Amino acid sequence: MTIRVYSTLTRRKEDLVPVVAGKISMYVCGPTVYKPSHVGHMVGPVIFDTIKRFLVRSGYDVKFVINITDIDDKLIVESARRGTSVPALAAEVTADYMTCLDCLDVNSVDSFPRATDHIPEILAMISGLIDKGHAYASDGDVYFDVGSDPDYGKLCNRDPDQLEAGARIEISSRKRNPGDFALWKGAKPSEPFWPSPWGNGRPGWHIECSAMSMKLLGESIDIHGGGLDLQFPHHENELAQSESFTGKPFAKLWLHNGLMKTGDRKMSKSEGNEIVVGLLLKKHRAETLRCLLLSSHYRSPIEYSEDRLLEVQRGLDGFHRFFQRFERIVGESFYGLPTGQFELADSHFAAYGTRFVEHMADDFNTGAALGVLHDLLGALNRFVEVSRLDHPAPSAVAVSDFKRNTLVLRDLSNILGLFQRPISVDTVSQDDLAGPLVEFLIELRNDARKNKDFAMADRIRKKLADLNVTIEDRPGSSGWRRG
Ligand SMILES: [Zn+2]
């Protein structure tokens, strides 16, 4: 199946045709590590982790890099404010970022290069750009000369004058053109620095991504990703300096994910409305956040609110109750099922896999793919009822079919990085009170049945049914589910 991907560069969906057959290289711009990660920082990693999972499932050998910007004005200011060093601050905030990714099961990233580990590559690239007439040294700084690149502005499809008008351009008498950007910044007193042919200093932000992408993935890569807010100037500048340096296309496809919004505002530190991931995870499961981030198309903005999170969690609880049901019927954990085998299911169920793949192959439409998972869940629950698997002594053939058909759910949810680990049963309940109360009523009903008070047992069952709670009787135990 052809995978179609929307590229910002061409402003249309392109067929995914790798630079090297069978392989995909993917570079995604990572965080500047000066403050703990907020929810908006997780959007790109979760989306591109899911894209990698899908590409791997589609048979590609994928190399995925996210960089860490560990030297920058923001780090210098924040470390001075906190009375610590830039490396100590960077190490602390990077560790927080890694913990957040781990909680969200973003585990497909092959490499997290740090800018400060790549100073020689950055210096070599800057020297090369000067030699080719695309950059110039000026009073301890080095700037890229945007006037030297006739293609400048092609990513954002605007001419350089328009770009400058819409962006914060640093005014400096050291520049030839206002739009020229720093490749190297001379160190001010007390700032961290590295020696260079132009004096002590540090790299600009844009050049580090070009240098690290080329070092780890080669001169031309398949996918360059990042948030929509990085299109200009960061990605425009990365593209200009990389292609000026090599004379080759830097990235075939440019993917930009939508940003997180609360109300009608972007979530950001500068807006002061950011939700720190560590705090959110004290209240919500990481899986709920991951699912929220995948619930719309990746190019759309993501609406964040407490209500949205609770709505997503209620949707996920339906799956968790199904996993309990599966375990009661089959006697095995859903989480132990193999992945990568949806085609083994009966054709009716395998068709859900085909639909899911079609949505993902159409510009990674995770929102529609999630919809297929919910439809599949309904179909599996119906299968249990029609095959009477909840009744005593179900047919062994039907149980075996049920297990095989559940492979579809296991496979597809794994592509989205959902249901990676069991969660404890008592956190599955709708809220802290409802679960134990239902369990207690079921206990009373079981006592009533033992005492042959069938009228009472029936009354409890009917009342729960009115409340949309279904009791599932199994030999030796009873479970329940909503709906
Ligand atoms: Zn970057």
pLDDT given at position 272: 76
Q: How confident is the model at residue 12 (pLDDT cuts 50, 70, 90)?
A: very high
Residue 272 Cα, ligand 1 centroid: separation in angstroms?
23
Q: Is the pTM of this model over 0.85?
A: yes
Which of 450, 472, 446, 309 has its CA nearest to residue 384? 472
Burial of 407 (0-12, 13-18, 19+ CB in 10 A): buried
* Residues 387-407 pLDDT 10s: 999 898 999 999 999 999 999
pLDDT at 440: 85
- Phi, psi (degrees; rounded to nearest 5) at 189: -55, 140
In the predicted structure, residue 370 carries a pLDDT above the cut 70: yes
Structure tokens at 464: 């729960």
Q: What is the mean pLDDT of residues 278-299?
A: 94
Which pLDDT belongs to residue 474? 64
Q: What is the pLDDT of residue 276?
A: 93
Sheet containing 265-266: order of strands: 265-266, 260-262, 302-303
Are the C-beta atoms of 253 and 9 separated by less than 8 Å? yes
293 Cα–ligand 1 center, Å: 21
* Ramachandran category for residue 185: left, alpha or beta (phi over 0 → left; psi -120 to 50 → alpha): beta
Ligand 1 center–CA 401 separation, angstroms:
48
pLDDT over 80 (residue 108)? yes
Cis peptide preceding 36, ω within 30 of 0: no
Output the CA 286–ligand 1 centroid distance in Å. 26
Mean pLDDT of the residues in the chain: 92
Distance CA 363, CA 231 (A): 19
38 CA to centre of ligand 1 in angstroms = 18
Please give the average per-residue pLDDT across 371-384, as a whole number: 98
211 or 482: which leads in pLDDT:
211
pLDDT at 168 (0 to 100): 57
Q: Among 386, 428, 377, which Cα is nearest to 406's?
A: 377
pLDDT tens, residue by residue, 150-188 = 999 999 987 766 655 555 566 678 899 889 999 999 999
Return the higher-pLDDT residue of 3 and 482. Answer: 3
Q: How many angstroms does the Cα of residue 118 sit away from the middle of ligand 1?
A: 14
Tokens 């990714």, residue located: 101
- The pLDDT assigned to 298 comes to 95
- How far apart are the C-alpha atoms of 306 and 329, rounded to whole Å? 35
The whole-number pLDDT of residue 476 equals: 63
d(CA 28, ligand 1 centre) in Å: 7
CA of 231 to the centre of ligand 1 (A): 10
Give me ligand 1 centre to Cα 106, in Å.
19
Q: What is the pLDDT of residue 429?
A: 47
Neighbours of ion ligand 1 (CB under 5 A): 29, 209
In the reported structure, the alpha carbon of residue 227 is separated from the centroid of ligand 1 by a whole-number distance in angstroms of: 10
pLDDT value at residue 75: 96
pLDDT band at 271 (very low <50, low <70, confident <90, very high): confident
DSSP character string of 211-270: HHHHHHH-SSEEEEEEEGGGIIIIIHHHHHHHHHHHSS-SEEEEEEEPPEEETTEE--TT
Domain boundaries defined on the chain: 4-294, 314-423, 429-483
How far, in Å, from the CA of 457 to the mean position of ligand 1? 64
CA–centroid distance, residue 223 to ligand 1 (Å): 12
Confidence of residue 144 (pLDDT cuts 50, 70, 90): very high
Give the confidence band of 465 by pLDDT, cuts at 50, 70, 90. Answer: confident
Question: For residue 275, how far is the Cα from the chain centroid?
Answer: 16
| CA 116 to ligand 1 centroid distance, Å | 14
Rounded Cα distance between 301 and 234, Å, is: 20
pLDDT band at 439; cut points 50, 70, 90: confident
- Strand ranges in 333-476 using DSSP code E only, listed in sequence order: 469-474
Distance 40 CA to ligand 1 centre (A): 16
Paired sense of beta strands 302-303 and 469-474, if any: unpaired
CA of 84 to the centre of ligand 1 (A): 26
Q: What percent of the chain has pLDDT above 70?
A: 94
- 3 state DSSP class of 76: helix
Residue with tokens 């992408």: 213
Give the CATH class of 4-294: alpha beta
Residue-wise pLDDT tens digits, 49-84 = 999 999 999 999 999 999 999 999 999 999 999 999
**16-35 average pLDDT score:** 97
Please state which architecture CATH assigns to domain 314-423: Up-down Bundle (1.20)
Q: Are the C-beta atoms of residues 47 and 294 closer than 8 Å to each other?
A: yes
Contact 404, 344 (CB under 8 A): yes
Torsion angle of alpha carbons 145, 150, 152, 154, nearest 10°?
-170
Distance 205 CA to ligand 1 centre (A): 8
CA nearest to 354, candidates 337, 327, 382, 376: 376
How close is the Cα of 416 to the center of ligand 1, in Å? 25
User: Cα of 426 to ligand 1 centre, how many Å?
Assistant: 42
Q: Find all residues with CB under 8 Å of 441, minimum gap 6, and list them.
A: 460, 463, 464
Q: Could you tell me the distance, in angstroms and rounded to a whole number, from the CA of residue 435 to the centre of ligand 1?
A: 46
SS3 at position 29: coil
What is the Å distance from ligand 1's center to 358 Cα?
30
